[in-house]
Amino acid sequence: MAEALGWLSLLFNVLLIFSVVLAFIVVELKDLLYASIVAGFYGLIIGVLYFMLQAPDIALTQIVVGVGLQTALLVIVISKTLRVEEKVSGKDLGLRVASIWAVIVLTVILVFTVVYDFPVFGQPVERVGQYYVENVLRDVGAWNAVGAIIWDYRGYDTLGETLVLFTAVIVVLAVFKHAPKERNEHNS
């Protein structure tokens, strides 16, 4: 059993490093179509990592949305746009690089200040989950603990997820919107 966990830990770390490499590749690629395809592979690896962390619901959502829907939408949007390259002067480039480094440094500082409050990796945070298990019947009056947690305790979270899905539908409808009449008449 311990040997199997060693291999899983090694595989997890390799996939984690590979996902970081893919993220850098996505940022550095000049061709947007290639970048969207590599981003799809990145999303697939992240989905596998979520599955290895025993979060199959998040893994499934990541694979469906992050790999399938995102890649399809990016390819469609790229196919409907023109390629325009912009020349950047030396002064503008220096300002952009400095601002990017400032954001990176601030993000690293924020991550390191927040990460010390996290529990040890792999240790469950029982104090939160145990409250739900012990008090769901008294607080909500429902026998179904999962439904009670989703609808009562995490109602705003569920509302936020619903708004995200609604926004995604609006974006898809905007992308698939029919072309103007002039263009249709010209093409026929």
Q: Helix, strand, or coil here: 8?
A: helix
Whether the CB-CB separation of 61 and 19 falls below 8 Å is answered with no
Taking the chain (188 residues) in runs of 10, the rounded mean pLDDT of each run is 72 92 92 91 93 82 86 85 73 83 93 77 66 77 72 73 83 72 48
pLDDT value for 17? 94
pLDDT value for 162? 81
Instruction: Kindly give, in sequence order, each residue whose CB lies less than 8 Å from that of residue 148, ignoring residues fewer than 6 positions away.
Output: 136, 139, 140, 142
Based on C-alpha coordinates, what's the Rg of the chain? Answer: 23
Whether the CB-CB separation of 77 and 175 falls below 8 Å is answered with yes
pLDDT value for 109? 92
Give the separation between CA 82 and CA 173, rounded to whole angstroms: 20
Give the separation between CA 159 and CA 21, rounded to whole angstroms: 34
Identify the helix (H) or strand (E) that includes residue 7: helix 2-28
Give the separation between CA 21 and CA 30, rounded to whole angstroms: 16
